Amino acid sequence: MLELYNFSQSTCSQKVRICLAEKKLDWVDRRLVSKDRHHISPEYLKLNPNGVVPTLVHDGAPVIESSVIVQYLDDVFPDPRLTPGDPKTVAQMRAWVIFVEQVPTPAVRYPSFQHGGLMQKFQAMSRKEFEATIVRRPLKSRFYRRMGQMGFPQEDIDDALDDIRKTVCRMEIMLRGSNPWLLGEQYTIADICVAPLIDRMQDMGYSGLWEADLPHVTGWLRRMKARPAYTTTFYWGSRLSEQYPDIAHAHGEEIVRALQRSSGSPSVSTTISSAI
Ligand SMILES: N[C@@H](CCC(=O)N[C@@H](CS)C(=O)NCC(=O)O)C(=O)O
């Protein structure tokens, strides 16, 4: 039996849900609610000591870390295969998965918390309640403390958008030529692991980070969204804008600053091999 402990709106959870849907696997949706702190309850911490979602439980055995989970699923349920056959391309895929974990995954959290309605929850708390909540996070206390109850300094948001811009520039290079997917003809874990992050940025009104000058990224996102597994994953309520309709209000100035910063960076002109 497969059980997935997840949040509907968590990008890491969405990554695993896409993979499960692509493989047409039956799974039990153990949906946790962040505001009720299910993910830091003593029972859940026994499954995932990091106090984060997702966690897959396969026949009673927990598997944690979304990138590990999708690779585990591909090992155990190889139909359809989401890993390339050629070891050199597998190495490229793994390098991309690490890049996605290190660069855009943390970056997307900054605007998500700042503009994604999540701040409202923290602003409504007393200082004492806020401290009591964040101190219980095994890995995230520093992130929450930096955010505080009033949000991140603009400099943090600008740095995060710079990292997203670097990501889409790398994707543009990977997609050049006639590649429909990031590693070529085959749709792989490389596509799955970054898709919920780009979807989130679009949902929050940041598609200006790629739409004007990175047409391959725009085409790739369209192809991703056309996949049935994608529609299953993003059921109603799993996008922030569905809960917080005001989220996508103009971020024009932030986007302009990110594009200006990126125009001086070498990312678009580098070759694919140095890009990942
Ligand atoms: N590296 C972990 C990161 C998981 C993660 O940060 N999950 C977020 C949701 S996307 C979470 O559970 N946050 C809980 C919190 O902020 O307290 C993975 O990929 O599974």
Give the position, in ligand 1's atom list, of the atom nearest the Cα of 69. 20
Please, are residues 134 and 142 in contact by the beta-carbon 8 Å criterion? no
Quote the ligand 1 centre to 120 CA distance (angstroms).
19
The number of angstroms, rounded, from the C-alpha of 123 to the middle of its chain's C-alpha atoms is: 25
Quote the ligand 1 centre to 67 CA distance (angstroms).
12
Nearest CA to ligand 1 atom 14: 52
Domains of the chain, earliest start first: 2-76 (3.40.30.10), 87-112+156-275 (1.20.1050.10)
Nearest CA to ligand 1 atom 13: 52
Nearest CA to ligand 1 atom 6: 52
CB of 10 sitting under 6 A from ligand 1: yes
More confidently predicted of 76 and 245: 76
Give the position, in ligand 1's atom list, of the atom nearest the Cα of 109. 10
**Residue 45 CB neighbours (<10 A):** 14
CB of 52 sitting under 6 A from ligand 1: yes
pLDDT tens per residue, range 99-118: 999 999 999 999 999 987 77
d(CA 100, CA 110): 15
Identity of the highest mean pLDDT range in 36-45, 122-131, 217-226, 237-246: 217-226
**Which residue from 129, 112, 91, 234 is spatially nearest to 164, judged by alpha carbons?**
112
pLDDT tens per residue, range 6-17: 999 999 999 999
pLDDT bracket for residue 195 (50, 70, 90)? very high
CB of 109 sitting under 6 A from ligand 1: no
Side by side, which strands form the sheet with 55-58? 28-31, 2-6, 55-58, 61-64
